[in-house]
Structure 1
Amino acid sequence: MNTAPADSGRPVRLGLRENWPQFTLLIVVNVCVGALVGLERTTVPLIGTDVFGLTSDLAVFSFIIAFGVTKALTNLAVGPLTTRFRRKHILVTGWLIGIPVPFALAWAPSWGWIVAANVLLGVNQGLTWSMTVNMKIDLVGPARRGLATGLNEAAGYVAVGGTALLTGYLATAYGLRPAPELIGVVFVAAGLALSLIVRDTAAHVALELAQHSGPAPTGESNGLAHIFARTSWRDRSLRGASQAGLVNNLNDGLTWGVFPLLFTDHGLGLAAVGLIKGLYPLLWGVGQIPTGHLADRIGRKPLIVYGMLTQAGGFVLALALLDRPLLAGVLSAVALGIGTAMVYPALIASVSDHAHPAWRVGALGTYRFWRDVGYAAGALVAGILADTLGLNATVIAAAVLTAGSGLLAAHWITERPRP
């Protein structure tokens, strides 16, 4: 039986059923994490253009770039931080850093304050989201990683989509600021309070280490530089997962900026664009519950490869049906949402499969670094290509890049036997 004594005197067991109270608590925490970043999906680009008078697409997208770069670097720092601090302490610190964000978004006197708020938001998201997913993986053990990550990411991205819809309604009723942003105060307060209740998972990591069949790496092999190199390019499977994660979030960053412009240019109003933008993360979120479970049953690779190809098909649909823009937008959002739901939990589970428990947090931090660099890359690519080649060419480039990423994943990623 997978049990061991804990410092508190309670027996420690690995498994979802055995740890469901803590697992559920962490699910609710990640709802708050996703809801905080969901504040930005609807109102912040409009604040840039309507409140601060920005005319450059690249300038408007600068808040996405600031968020993506900061979150990526924070993800990378999480591995070394967990060697010095407990996961719970890192989780609580992330919430403390996030406290100023909703106030800055609500009352920023200049666009620079919005960008600065996104630096804080990136650190908040890097620490809190990293810890919720790592702690869930710690609790369930290797047999249910796909389901654990699916539930975690589903909670977060359903909250992203739901909050995006809510802030759109509030902005229509009360204006762009401050009402839509101030609901973030509730999310920060709830997330911080619940994180103080969560128990740390160090004992679960120790139990999995004791049961792991392979020898524990020591010395240089546990260092950040070694883990970064191994996850980024030396290990074929980890390399395949990292590049797929980067392209996946590049798609999100790109559509964040391009789709509103593309579909309004073809006659859709803000309500229809809001539907398209809300549908994508909602399907992405809800879909990860069955796809995470499926990843435990049929393996990670099929979901990763076909998920990337499904996303590429979503971009094709966006252009092929532009004479009926609402249909094009909805079908594209459905394909992108389903494709992303297939990929997201399977990628995290695949990285966990190929990383020893002793350096798994570092491997996940490196993977999440490359994945969230995709936000910044997507915003940057969208701004440059849209200005030089036009919106249609930008969407075509995204389709080609995403299909190519899926083919690379098929070539590089291998399945690891699981219990």
Structure 2
Amino acid sequence: MTLPAIREPSSVKLGLKENWQQFSLLLLINAFVGGMVGIERTVVPLIGANEFHIQSTALITSFIISFGVVKALANLVSGQLADSWGRKRVLVVGWLVGLPVPFMIVAAPNWEWVIAANVLLGLSQGFAWSMTVVMKVDLVGPKGRGLAVGLNEFAGYLAVGLTAFLTGYLASRYGLRPVPIYVGIAYALAGTLLSILLVRDTRQHVRVEAGGMSKEASPFSFREVFMLTSFKNRNLFAASQAGLVNNLNDGMSWGIFPLFFTTLGLGIERIGLLKAVYPIVWGVGQVVTGPLSDRWGRKGLIVGGMWVQAAGLLITALGGQFAWWLLGSLLLGAGTAMVYPCLIAAVSDASHPTWRARSLSVYRFWRDLGYAIGALSAGLIADRFGFSAAIVSIGILTFLSGTVYWWAAEETNKSS
């Protein structure tokens, strides 16, 4: 498949400086995308336990499973749609699908409504977040890829953390519903309007970049891109499995941590603080790790980051005091900041511009499938052996995934 013919304005140039206005707009929009997930990080598992009186951890985490599966599938098709429909259209569709989500959570008479809301949220995130990543990579070109991804993920996950803290604070004073969820309504309206009115498509930037490169004897069918990204290319395989495990432990922490901390006697506000520290450190750290990977390379940051995450999970599971849990959250955030932008940049490095959007969509399919696998496996382990056992198990798996990347992948940033 080739990109549709587009008239290329002579003024189209690659680079952050040359495209700072659109880049900044997309940063703001991705902050709203991240905020939509942040409204759920603290309060939704507690809604399941406290309002709907669900006893099974696996059943409570079912909302994350629905989110993760649908987001993974949306990621899988988002790259194909971006090449055929255009990036902006996919972004706008993502926001339109996400508009009902906060209203459904506010009005939910039972847990099935929350699960249904997360089906829509997963679809929305798969389209909207994917397009903010792809469009920023399109705008800056190959030289600033790590910086672009780092800034994008910074905006998104800083918003996740701040919103998790804000909703925890509001819930401690006004209850779990509806006041904390009103924040999501504001995010959804702002993100939709900005995407419709101000965002411009970036496919012409892709054509400018591809025009300066030799055409590879490379796959163009979706099936070939899927197989190459998933299994056949060692660098892309290593990134895909690391991304899956990274979001596996994130899905576990999303569903398990609020319940785990509640059993240890923490109130909602302090739980909100712990749930905020992790994504805030994750988000802010990417401003450093993204551009650092442009200079030092991706591999060392990815391997080290997976191992730091594993340490944070083990400290959280085995520590018995708030200070240890805070340290665990800091390490988990720092490790994820080392990994997250570097994996996206590594996949971009190893993909030709003409099929990069599809390769990123396949990588993000495997990565976000980790949400569902992590929530399901952690819920089942917790129901059988307890919360600590679930967290330790995922920590060990995270360490092993970093080791697989160290063994399988080469350095993809040849300019470092």
Q: Note whether the superposition's TM-score is higher than 0.5.
A: yes
- Give the aligned partner of residue 342 of structure 2: 346
Q: CA deviation at 1:15?
A: 0.6
- Cα deviations across residues 54-100 of structure 1 (Å, max 9, x unaligned)? 11111111100000000000000112212320100111111111111
TM-score normalized by the length of structure 2: 0.95
- Give the aligned partner of residue 3 of structure 1: none
CA distance in 1, matches of 2:264, 2:171: 23
- Give the aligned partner of residue 172 of structure 1: 172
Moved more, 44-53 or 222-231: 44-53
- Cα deviations across residues 13-69 of structure 1 (Å, max 9, x unaligned)? 111111111100100010110011111111111211222221111111110000000
- Give the aligned partner of residue 240 of structure 1: 238
Alignment counterpart, residue 274 of structure 1, candidates 250, 272, 277? 272
- Give the aligned partner of residue 25 of structure 1: 25
Alignment counterpart, residue 328 of structure 2, candidates 329, 332, 343? 332
CA distance in 1, matches of 2:262, 2:108: 27
TM-score normalized by the length of structure 1: 0.95
- Give the aligned partner of residue 133 of structure 2: 133
- Cα deviations across residues 228-265 of structure 1 (Å, max 9, x unaligned)? 11101110000000000000011111112222333333
CA distance in 2, matches of 1:112, 1:165: 26
Alignment of 1:220-369 (within 5 A): 221-322=219-320, 325-369=321-365
Q: CA deviation at 1:178?
A: 1.5
Structure 2: which amino acid aligns with 1:96?
A: L
Alignment of 1:106-255 (within 5 A): 106-196=106-196, 197-215=198-216, 217=218, 221-255=219-253
- Give the aligned partner of residue 397 of structure 1: 393
CA distance in 2, matches of 1:109, 1:387: 25
Unmatched 5+ stretches in structure 1: 1-5
- Cα deviations across residues 134-192 of structure 1 (Å, max 9, x unaligned)? 00000000111100000000000000111111111222222221221122121111111
CA distance in 2, matches of 1:82, 1:259: 35
Give the direction of change, closer, same or farther, for the CA distance of 1:261–1:112 in structure 2 (3 Å limit): closer
CA distance in 2, matches of 1:315, 1:174: 31
Structure 2: which amino acid aligns with 1:61?
A: T
Alignment of 1:60-79 (within 5 A): 60-79=60-79
Give the direction of change, closer, same or farther, for the CA distance of 1:415–1:214 in structure 2 (3 Å limit): farther
Give the direction of change, closer, same or farther, for the CA distance of 1:348–1:291 in structure 2 (3 Å limit): same
- Give the aligned partner of residue 3 of structure 2: none
Q: CA deviation at 1:9?
A: 4.3
- Secondary structure of the 1:11 match is coil
Alignment of 1:41-120 (within 5 A): 41-120=41-120
Moved more, 345-354 or 76-85: 76-85
Check conservation: 1:39, 1:181, Cα contact below 8 A: yes
- Secondary structure of the 1:45 match is helix
- Secondary structure of the 1:222 match is coil
- Cα deviations across residues 370-418 of structure 1 (Å, max 9, x unaligned)? 1101111110111111112222222221121011000100111112324
Check conservation: 1:253, 1:379, Cα contact below 8 A: yes
Please report the RMSD computed on the Cα atoms of aligned residues, expressed in angstroms. Answer: 1.5
Q: Percent identity?
A: 53
Check conservation: 1:272, 1:326, Cα contact below 8 A: no
- Secondary structure of the 2:343 match is helix
CA distance in 2, matches of 1:321, 1:115: 32
- Give the aligned partner of residue 36 of structure 1: 36
Q: CA deviation at 1:214?
A: 4.2
* Consecutive aligned runs of 4 or more in structure 1 exceeding 6 Å deviation: none
CA distance in 1, matches of 2:58, 2:318: 26
